[in-house]
């Protein structure tokens, strides 16, 4: 269904932005409510963006960053991408200096991912103005469950919709945040994890080099 990684980037752009504006309600709403409420209103933001993106692009990215910061668990996502290099077992195997270094690397990579995702996916967002979006209510929701997968259908110029799976996680204060995303059969977290592992092999385990040279695909 997804024709190439550029299409994946554009779909992810819409999916994240559809979810984002209602993070403030996440502590009281169900995961479905967060996605559904956002779906009904975010398209207004998407449609308004072209009116200022050419004249003031930094405003666009700044506003996008604020929204993403409210809804995406960047720290958890970044550590997931780092995979075994950020695992509890690996951390415990390090000496005191190594643990300090790894914490700093994880913090730095979180910021790199935070900025990079907003910039990259922001560029693909405008392709989805006017798209029809539907959110499927799950058969049942366990109020005590801290994880949820919400399905969203995006109709964008074809009869068959793109199918988005939001992997949501409830934080300690009760808020729901986006932890990972699956577009059709493409697992975003796994895509970046594979990229990180390959870069780490090429750098012979030099994580500072991997992080300093990290880049996300451009949405064209």
Show the domains of the chain with their CATH numbers.
4-212 (3.10.450.710)
pLDDT, tens digit only, all 220 positions of the chain: 545 555 656 556 555 555 544 444 545 577 777 666 655 555 666 677 788 888 988 877 777 777 777 777 899 999 999 999 999 999 999 999 999 999 999 999 999 999 988 777 667 666 766 677 788 888 776 666 889 998 988 887 777 888 888 888 888 888 888 888 888 888 989 999 999 999 999 999 999 999 999 986 654 4
C-alpha dihedral (33, 34, 40, 41), degrees to nearest 10: 150
- Which has the closest alpha carbon to 117: 181, 43, 202, 209? 181
**Is the backbone of residue 135 left (phi > 0), alpha (psi -120 to 50) or beta?**
beta
The pLDDT value given to residue 99: 97
Sequence-separated (6 or more) residues with CB below 8 Å from residue 138: 32, 148, 149, 150, 151
pLDDT at 26: 45
């Amino acid at each position: 269904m997804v024709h190439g990684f550029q299409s994946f980037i554009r779909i992810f752009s819409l999916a994240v932005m559809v979810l984002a504006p209602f993070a403030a309600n996440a502590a009281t709403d169900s995961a479905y409510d967060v996605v559904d409420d956002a779906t009904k209103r975010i398209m207004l933001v998407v449609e308004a963006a072209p009116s200022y993106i050419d004249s003031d692009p930094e405003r666009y990215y700044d506003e996008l960053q604020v929204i993403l910061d409210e809804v995406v668990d960047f720290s958890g996502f970044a550590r997931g991408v780092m995979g075994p290099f950020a695992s509890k077992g690996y951390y415990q195997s390090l000496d005191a200096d190594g643990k300090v270094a790894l914490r700093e690397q994880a913090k730095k990579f979180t910021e790199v991912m935070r900025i990079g995702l907003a910039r990259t996916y922001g560029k693909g967002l405008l392709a989805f103005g006017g798209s029809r979006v539907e959110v499927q209510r799950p058969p049942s929701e366990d109020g005590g469950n801290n994880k949820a997968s919400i399905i969203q259908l995006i109709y964008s110029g074809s009869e068959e919709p793109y199918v988005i799976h939001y992997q949501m996680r409830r934080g300690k204060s009760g808020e729901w945040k986006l932890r990972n995303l699956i577009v059709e059969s493409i697992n975003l977290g796994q895509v970046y994890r594979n990229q990180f592992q390959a870069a780490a092999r090429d750098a012979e385990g030099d994580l500072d080099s991997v992080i300093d040279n990290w880049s996300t695909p451009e949405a064209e």
